[in-house]
């Protein structure tokens, strides 16, 4: 589209009149034009892109026609304020075939004055039309039509200005409502007061029911503030300057609000005051917020000023801007003495470097740090404090200052020291206790050794009377009971000190279980209890476990069961889980059971079910605590399940690796007596051979220590006494003969004990005086047990018959 046409259409649309309802002002103008020219039709026609639309039409029905039929479209091409005259359209080549000429309304005569806006755009015409040809009107008539056209344009402009003013007003109202700022005006001439809607709203009244006068307006103010309002207005008028006041009003609903009003004088051309106008704003919320902030700041200040912790604000270089008054209490300085000076000046000389480093770290962006250090009191002494530094950043995130909270931790330090001292004291006390127990052990065992030993001596006398033998048996049993109590106490103190040493070795669990049960057979027979073991035949021949510890736990549990069960049965079940390589033992009884609320305490020291039980059944109350300690030391767990009146079952498991599938019961029992308790060192590089020897000897109660080669055997023999050494001839690092030679020659603990060689080649010559015996491989039970028993009979030069 042509640029000029674009501008023209923009101007037309800007008028905002297209398709608006009819307007009497325009209709009067068209009626006047028709009257002046004595035509049946007069129109105000606006030429749009596609059509001509009639803002006013006198004597014509359609409200618009297509633009290509339009006469006016031709007229507006003629220039600004032009007037186009067509005397007879039927003979005018431009219009002869125009449907408006050939058909209704049969136009013949047309005269249109162009409507030209102030900006020079031709937007349409004011035209008169007749269906009969007519002569050209006179120039005076045409000038009149042009004048009317100008009036039409003026009217358009007026309508548009009114509309714009109305829009602006609405916008203002919207702004007032949104911002809470209203406007007012007080005209001096007649004292009229006008309020904007917002001012009404702020006073809590509405325009319909309230019409403010000056006095009415002033009356809204708080009684104490009304004089101030009058003075402010009067002073504004007197000085012709503006004035501002912030006061309280009382709204119609009774609520007091804080408001601010600004007044400006409106002057006439002569400089006299016509009116005072201004804005009016409710600032209650802002005032409240401000007061809250002030209050909050006051509170924090109060807090900082009265807190025992010291708060200080420092610049990044460490100089302080603020120090709370608590500093006087802490370091003896007035806050004023310290502000501006570097923080490290008030730190103990040995801790200054730490503080300087901390501050430089903070300045580099570390968010927070906490340090314990000594501060320097004004009088010179050190004060232990804990300082928490916190970095403060500005809105852009740049570090601006450091806030530090300094807390006196003198008491805490003192408490820490006291605790440390108490701990040291407790440790010392524990040592004293351990020493006391060791001494007590000696003091108790020595007489017990005599009691038990002499009782044995007397028992060996053949000529004792039965009663004497019975009394002696009681002495002996009492002695043993006392010994076991002493052992309990010592075991427990050892467990507590973590000094229990677990020594796993190949053992026959079945044998151990049977031996342990045997110890109780007399007691259970006396009480008429049945005592049985199950699962023993399913156990592997040998497992690796500590026999002494295991026996101790079993004796405790079975002993308890026997002690507390008056009738019924006690059973021991043992099982081995080859998958998990663990042994599980259960000791069940038909005793009184344990109340549920006591079960948890059962394994604690000194706990029996009740004090009465201790008196009735005796015991130290340490047994189960010792069991728990021992089982845990062996890497297992112990637990109990019981119900009152339904007996109890104590069970525990411990890790144990199976060594052989042989069971112990195939071992011959000949000559076995001399082997119990014998300490034997077994040196063989082949683990299967060692396992076999263990399997064969352990059931006889032989304690075996294993060495994997000759060097290890020599090393072990130098450290602990053995009763015999079993030595394979062929071993890596140091062979059997070499190891035996060194053990003999080093004149150590085991220089004189029997050393027995294993050999696949027994015919081989050994140096004399090295081995006491040679056992041929492959090993047989008889050869091994017989050979060892013979060696341990201490035959040879200087030895005695131990069996004597």
Partner 1 sequence: MLPRDARKPRIFVAEDDRDVLDLILTRLTLAGYMTAHARDGHEALRGIAAARPAGIILDINMPNLDGFGVLERLSAAAPAGPKTPVMVLTARHAPDDVQRALSMGARDFLTKPFQDAQLLARVARLIRARPAPASGQPVLV
Q: Which is nearer to partner 1, 274 or 776 (CB)?
A: 776
Q: Which is nearer to partner 1, 194 or 485 (CB)?
A: 485
Q: How far is the CB of 770 from partner 1 (least distance, A)?
A: 7
Q: Which is nearer to partner 1, 94 or 503 (CB)?
A: 503
Q: How far is the CB of 497 from partner 1 (least distance, A)?
A: 11
Cβ pair 101, 107 in contact under 8 A: yes
Q: How far is the CB of 444 from partner 1 (least distance, A)?
A: 9
Q: Which is nearer to partner 1, 1 or 457 (CB)?
A: 457
Q: How far is the CB of 756 from partner 1 (least distance, A)?
A: 8
Cβ pair 521, 528 in contact under 8 A: no
Cβ pair 36, 151 in contact under 8 A: no
Q: How far is the CB of 465 from partner 1 (least distance, A)?
A: 21
Q: How far is the CB of 438 from partner 1 (least distance, A)?
A: 6
Query: In the Cβ-directed half-sphere of 601, how many Cα atoms lie within 13 Å?
Result: 11
Q: How far apart are CA 702 and CA 681, in angstroms?
A: 10
3-state helix, strand, coil in the chain (%, to 5): 45, 25, 30
Q: Which is nearer to partner 1, 365 or 453 (CB)?
A: 453
b/e 323-332 (16+ beta carbons within 10 angstroms → b): bbebbbebbe
Q: Which is nearer to partner 1, 466 or 745 (CB)?
A: 745
Q: Which is nearer to partner 1, 341 or 445 (CB)?
A: 445
DSSP 212: -
Q: How far is the CB of 625 from partner 1 (least distance, A)?
A: 17
Q: How far is the CB of 666 from partner 1 (least distance, A)?
A: 21
Q: Which is nearer to partner 1, 273 or 490 (CB)?
A: 490
Q: How far is the CB of 620 from partner 1 (least distance, A)?
A: 16
Q: Following CA atoms 105, 106, 109, 114 in sequence, which dihedral angle do they give, to the nearest 10 degrees?
A: 40
Q: How far apart are CA 786 and CA 11, in angstroms?
A: 134
Positions touching partner 1 (CB under 8 A) are 437-438, 441-442, 445-450, 452-454, 456-457, 483, 487, 490, 494, 501, 677, 719-721, 723, 744, 749, 751-753, 756-757, 762, 765-776, 783, 786-787, 790, 792, 794, 796-800, 802, 804
* C-alpha closest to that of 128 among 71, 51, 49: 71
Q: How far is the CB of 761 from partner 1 (least distance, A)?
A: 11
Q: How far apart are CA 705 and CA 760, in angstroms?
A: 22
Residues 6+ apart with CB under 8 A from 742: 714, 734
Q: How far is the CB of 700 from partner 1 (least distance, A)?
A: 14
Element (H, E) at 387: strand 382-393
Q: How far apart are CA 506 and CA 660, in angstroms?
A: 10
Pairing of strands 637-642, 648-655: antiparallel
Cβ pair 221, 248 in contact under 8 A: yes
Q: In what order do the strands lie in the sheet with 505-507?
A: 505-507, 542-545, 658-660
Please give the backbone phi and psi of residue 101, each rounded to the nearest 5 degrees, phi first.
Answer: -95, -45
Question: How far apart, in Å, do the first and last CA atoms of the chain sit?
Answer: 142
Q: Following CA atoms 442, 444, 450, 455 in sequence, which dihedral angle do they give, to the nearest 10 degrees?
A: -140
Q: Which is nearer to partner 1, 442 or 615 (CB)?
A: 442
Q: Which is nearer to partner 1, 160 or 445 (CB)?
A: 445
* C-alpha closest to that of 243 among 205, 277, 194: 277
Q: Which is nearer to partner 1, 2 or 442 (CB)?
A: 442
Q: Which residue has the tokens 């950043």?
A: 393
Q: How far is the CB of 424 from partner 1 (least distance, A)?
A: 23
Helix (H, G, I), strand (E, B) or coil at 231: helix
Q: Which is nearer to partner 1, 446 or 532 (CB)?
A: 446
Strand partners, 185: 194, 277
């Amino acid at each position: 589209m042509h640029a000029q046409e674009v501008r023209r259409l923009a101007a037309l649309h800007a008028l905002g009149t297209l398709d608006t309802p009819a307007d009497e002002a325009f209709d009067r103008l068209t009626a006047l034009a028709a009257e002046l020219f004595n035509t049946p039709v007069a129109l105000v026609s606006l030429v749009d892109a596609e059509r001509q639309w009639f803002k006013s039409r006198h004597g014509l029905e359609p409200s618009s026609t297509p633009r290509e039929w339009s006469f006016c479209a031709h007229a507006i091409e003629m220039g600004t304020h032009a007037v186009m005259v067509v005397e007879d359209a039927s003979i005018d080549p431009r219009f002869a075939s125009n449907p408006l000429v050939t058909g209704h309304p049969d136009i013949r005569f047309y005269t249109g004055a162009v409507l030209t806006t102030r900006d020079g755009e031709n937007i349409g015409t004011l035209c008169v039309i007749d269906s009969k040809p007519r002569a050209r009107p006179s120039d005076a008539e045409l000038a009149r039509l042009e004048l009317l056209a100008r009036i039409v344009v003026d009217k358009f402009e007026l309508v548009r200005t009114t509309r714009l003013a109305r829009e602006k007003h609405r916008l203002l109202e919207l702004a007032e409502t949104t911002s809470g700022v209203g406007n007012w005006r007080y005209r001096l001439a007649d004292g009229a007061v006008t309020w904007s809607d917002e001012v009404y709203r702020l006073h809590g009244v509405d325009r319909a029911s309230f019409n403010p006068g000056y006095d009415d307006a002033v009356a809204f103010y708080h009684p104490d503030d009304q004089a101030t309002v009058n003075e402010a207005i009067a002073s504004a008028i007197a000085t012709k300057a503006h004035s501002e006041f912030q006061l309280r009003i009382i709204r119609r609903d009774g609520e007091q609000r804080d408001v601010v009003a600004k007044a400006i004088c409106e002057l006439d051309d002569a400089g006299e005051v016509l009116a005072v106008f201004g804005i009016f704003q409710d600032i209650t919320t802002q005032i409240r917020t401000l007061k809250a902030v002030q209050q909050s700041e006051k509170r924090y200040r109060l807090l900082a000023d009265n807190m025992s912790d010291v708060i200080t604000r420092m610049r990044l270089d460490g100089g302080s801007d603020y120090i709370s008054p608590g500093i006087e209490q802490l370091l003896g300085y007035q806050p004023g003495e310290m502000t501006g000076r570097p923080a490290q000046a008030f730190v103990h000389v040995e801790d200054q470097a730490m503080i300087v480093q901390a501050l430089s770290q903070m300045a580099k962006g570390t968010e927070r740090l906490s340090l314990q250090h000594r501060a320097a009191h004004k009088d010179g002494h050190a004060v232990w404090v804990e300082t928490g530094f916190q970095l403060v950043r500005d809105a852009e995130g740049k570090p601006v200052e450091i806030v530090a909270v300094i807390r006196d931790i003198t008491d805490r330090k003192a408490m820490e020291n006291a605790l440390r001292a108490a701990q040291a004291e407790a440790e010392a006390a524990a040592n004293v206790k351990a020493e006391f127990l060791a001494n007590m052990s000696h003091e108790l065992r020595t007489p017990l050794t005599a009691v038990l030993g002499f009782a044995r001596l007397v028992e060996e006398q053949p000529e004792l009377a039965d009663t004497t033998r019975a009394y002696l048996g009681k002495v002996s049993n009492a002695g043993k009971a006392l010994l076991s109590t002493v052992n309990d106490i010592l075991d427990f103190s050892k467990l507590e000190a973590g000094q229990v040493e677990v020594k796993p070795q190949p053992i026959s669990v079945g044998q151990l279980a049977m031996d342990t049960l045997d110890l109780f057979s007399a007691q259970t027979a006396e009480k008429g209890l049945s005592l049985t073991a199950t699962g023993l035949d399913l156990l592997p021949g040998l497992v690796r476990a500590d026999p002494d510890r295991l026996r101790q736990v079993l004796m405790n549990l079975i002993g308890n069961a026997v002690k507390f069960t008056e009738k019924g049965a006690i059973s021991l079940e043992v099982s081995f889980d080859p998958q998990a390589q663990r042994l599980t033992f259960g000791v069940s009884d038909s005793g009184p059971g344990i109340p549920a609320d006591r079960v948890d305490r059962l394994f604690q020291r000194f706990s029996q079910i009740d004090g009465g039980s201790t008196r009735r059944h005796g015991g130290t109350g340490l047994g189960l605590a010792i069991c728990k300690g021992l089982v845990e030391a062996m890497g297992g767990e112990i637990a109990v399940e019981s119900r009152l009146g339904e007996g109890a079952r104590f069970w525990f498991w411990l890790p144990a690796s199976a060594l052989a599938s042989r069971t112990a019961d195939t071992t011959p029992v000949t000559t076995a007596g001399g082997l119990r308790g014998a300490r034997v060192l077994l040196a063989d590089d082949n683990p299967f051979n060692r396992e076999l020897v263990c399997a064969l000897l352990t059931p006889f109660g032989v304690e075996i220590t294993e060495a994997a080669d000759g060097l290890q055997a020599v090393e072990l023999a130098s450290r602990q006494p053995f009763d015999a050494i079993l030595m394979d001839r062929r071993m890596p690092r140091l062979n059997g003969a070499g190891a035996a030679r060194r053990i003999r020659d080093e004149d150590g603990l085991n220089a004189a004990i029997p050393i027995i060689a294993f050999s696949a080649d027994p015919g081989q010559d050994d140096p004399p005086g090295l081995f006491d015996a040679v056992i041929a491989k492959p090993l047989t039970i008889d050869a091994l047990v017989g050979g060892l028993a013979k060696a341990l009979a201490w035959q040879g030069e200087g030895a005695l018959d131990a069996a004597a």
